[in-house]
Amino acid sequence: MQKKYDVYAIGNALVDTEIETTDAFLSDMQIGKGLMTLVDEARQHQLTQALATTPAKRSAGGSACNTAVAVARFGGTAFYSCRVADDEDGHFYAKDLADAGVDNSLDKQLPQGTTGKCLVLVTPDAERSMNTYLGISANIDETDLNEQALLTSNYVYLEGYLASSETGRAAAAKLRELAEQHGVKTSITFSDPAMIEFCRDGLNQMLGNGVDLLFCNQAEALAYTQQSDPEAALESLKSIAKQIVLTRHDKGAWIWDGSQRHDIAATPITAIDSNGAGDMFAGAYLYGINHGMSPAQAGQLAAKAAANVVGQFGPRLSQQEHHDLLANP
């Protein structure tokens, strides 16, 4: 069968509002620095009001969404399963996703409710702290899957944040099972150390008996394997993934291709905002391996793309920046 999509992703649909702030504000508001914290609507409103006069940047977001958009902007093809509500944020999200060239599951009547939101607070050291109200995205379930799109995909990509939702992790596990049945390769990102600390059983449900490709950063790798040494963690992760992309912040990345490890050097950059760096790394890597690049070549592209994201404010690059990265590998 002719493949239509490089990647079929599933994740939480969140309207991201990104704001520059200070460590003092995080401390005053008791916000966990560098973490993703789930909050209720009242807490989200409290934080939003406290920052009402601060300039903000809004975009359709969520980890897997950012990855799918990166694949599309590099010139690849992506499908995204998610759930938003019939409200202003939901219609904004659907349009932003379509404008980015990502096919999606939002072609039906949107349900009543409140679209999920993520307040991304960026401190001067470029660290991002996320406060997420999942809203209706917490209700994503198997009805949001599109089996026909899956059948014409090379990879499925599961967002680890879905581990916090009973229906979300069940939908992700179902998508993995369907992929396995139809010979579609499977990939997952751990997303955040908090998912490992609080939702390990959910992540394991999503993982099943293992996946073809795992994305994680060093902190997540150490937390999941309960190792203190990164090399030991990588070795342990081989029991759940045939191939592994392990990012190591300013130390670059390790890519295990199933037979050997490739050490990818970090691209020097003055850090401004780390939000979206991991999502971009995954998107660039998935684009690369779907378009004739070796794992090492895809890793080099991903490292440069992620560095470009860290060097600007916001989790995405422009279409032209994607083209420039491909033109100057």
Determine the pLDDT at residue 59: 87
CA atoms within 13 A on the CB side of 71: 33
Q: What count of Cα atoms within 13 Å lies in the side-chain half-sphere of residue 121?
A: 28
> In 39-80, which residue ranges form alpha helices assigned H by DSSP?
41-50, 63-73
Structural domains in the chain?
5-327 (3.40.1190.20)
> What's the start-to-end Cα distance of the chain, in Å?
31
The pTM score is: 0.94
| The pLDDT of residue 1 is above 70 | no
User: Within 13 Å and on the Cβ side, how many CA atoms surround 324?
Assistant: 8
Q: Is the pLDDT of residue 199 over 80?
A: yes
Task: State pLDDT tens for residues 23-49.
Answer: 999 999 999 998 889 999 999 999 989
Q: What is the pLDDT of residues 147-188, one digit of tens each?
A: 999 999 999 999 999 999 999 999 999 999 999 999 999 999
**Over the stretch 200-232, which tens digit does the pLDDT of each residue have?**
999 999 999 999 999 999 999 999 999 999 999
Provide the pLDDT for residue 107: 85
Please, which pLDDT band fits residue 315 given cuts at 50, 70 and 90? confident
88-119: pLDDT as tens digits: 999 999 999 999 999 999 988 999 999 999 99
Structure confidence at residue 55 (pLDDT)? 80
Tell whether the model's pLDDT for residue 314 goes beyond 90.
Answer: no
Look at residue 296 in the predicted model and tell me its pLDDT.
97
Q: Which two tokens stand for residue 320?
A: 């032209």
Average per-residue pLDDT for the chain = 94
Q: Exposed, middle or buried by CB within 10 Å (0-12, 13-18, 19+), for 326?
A: middle
- Among 15, 44, 40, 12, smallest CA distance to 137 is for 12
Query: Does 9 score more than 90 pLDDT?
Result: yes
Per-residue pLDDT band for 270 (boundaries 50, 70, 90) equals confident
Q: Which residues, in sequence order, are CB contacts of 283 under 8 Å at separation 6+?
A: 66, 67, 68, 69, 70, 71, 74, 302, 305
Q: What percent of the chain has pLDDT over 70?
A: 99
Q: Mapped to the 3 state alphabet, what secondary structure does the chain carry? A: CCCCEEEEEECCCEEEEEEECCHHHHHHCCCCCCCEEECCHHHHHHHHHHCCCCCEEEEEECHHHHHHHHHHHCCCCEEEECCCCCCHHHHHHHHHHHHCCCEECCCCCCCCCCCEEEEEEECCCCCEEEEEECHHHHHCCHHHCCHHHHHCEEEEEEEHHHHHCHHHHHHHHHHHHHHHHHCCEEEEECCCHHHHHHHHHHHHHHHCCCEEEEEEEHHHHHHHHCCCCHHHHHHHHCCCEEEEEEECHHHCEEEECCCCEEEECCCCCCCCCCCCHHHHHHHHHHHHHHCCCCHHHHHHHHHHHHHHHHCCCCCCCCHHHHHHHHHCC
Residue 253 banded pLDDT, cuts 50, 70, 90: very high
Number of CB atoms found within 10 A of residue 311's CB: 16
pLDDT at residue 329 is higher than 80: no
Q: Are strands 5-10 and 261-264 parallel, antiparallel or unpaired?
A: unpaired
**Nearest to 266, CA basis, from 289, 300, 294, 231:** 300
Q: Of 310, 299, 195, 171, which is closest to residue 247 (Cα–Cα)?
A: 299
Residue 272 pLDDT grade (very low, low, confident, very high; cuts 50, 70, 90): confident
